[in-house]
Structure formats: structure tokens, C-alpha cells
Amino acid sequence: MKLIIAYIQPEALNEVKQSLYDAEVYKMSITNAMGCGQQKGYHETYRGADIEVNLLKKVRMEIAVNDEYVESTTDAIIRGARSGNIGDGKIFIIDLPECIRIRTGEKGPEAVG
């Protein structure tokens, strides 16, 4: 099993959700995040004082999937999130040795889905 962590633009969330559904990935968790990367951020001027915002609003998705789903999931995320502009985000994939469904106590692959 793998744990897929993706940082995407907040605006892209709905489209990513959609394309994940199309890829039959229905389970996910998201959190609010702030990120800085190549995307340089923008300049607000608040009361005339220039303020360089380099931590931008992002959405962090966490999706646990079985190995055979990794490809389709990442593709789905990319499909939904790519605008071609800097700031589209990143996907990190890490190993997930164990997963437990709290309700039933099921473990492993069948607990993920």
C-alpha cells in the first residue's frame, strides 16, 4: 500500500476530486496548507507597506491506496490539478506498511478501500 500526499492549488480541489471519482478513488483526506516553492508568491500592499507573501494557500491531500491504484490515482490528481503554471504542486508517494479501519478492525489492503 502507498500513501499519496499531494499539494494542489485550492482552486483545483473540485476538479481533482472529480477526476479522482472518475478514477474510482472515493476515499481521501484533505487539509489546509500553506506552501512555498518555485511559485514566487505575490505582493500585497497593506496600508502602503509592501508585503511579500511567499506562503501561499494550498490544499494538502492524503490518499491511501493499494499499489495497483497508485498510477491511476496520481494520474487523476495530475489531470485535475495541472494548469501548466508554476504552483500546480507536488505529489509525494510513501510506503504504507499498515492500515487499519477503526470501525471493523480490518487490516491491510481491504482496510484501505
Ligand X SMILES: Nc1ncnc2c1ncn2[C@@H]1O[C@H](COP(=O)(O)OP(=O)(O)O)[C@@H](O)[C@H]1O
Least distance to its own copies, CB of residue 54, Å: 8
Q: Which of 15, 66, 72, 88 binds its own copies (CB under 8 A)?
A: 88
Q: Please tell me the number of Cα atoms within 13 Å of 112 on its side-chain side.
A: 20
User: Is residue 84 near its own copies by the rule CB under 8 A?
Assistant: yes
Handedness of CA 24, 73, 55, 43 (dihedral sign): negative
Touching ligand X, residues 65-84 (CB under 6 A): none
User: Does the protein bind its own copies through residue 23 (CB under 8 A)?
Assistant: no
56: nearest Cα among 32, 79, 74, 80: 32
49 binds, among ligand X, its own copies, another protein, none (CB under 5 to 8 A by kind): another protein
Min dist. Cβ of residue 48 to ligand X (A): 27
Contact (CB, 8 A) for 83 and 9: yes
Q: Which of 26, 38, 49, 98 forms a contact with another protein (CB under 8 A)?
A: 49
CA 95 and chain centroid, separation: 16
Q: How far apart are alpha carbons 42 and 54 in whole angstroms?
A: 7
31 makes contact with ligand X (CB under 6 A): no
Summarize as ranges the residues that interact with another protein (CB under 8 A).
10-14, 32, 34, 42-51, 57, 59
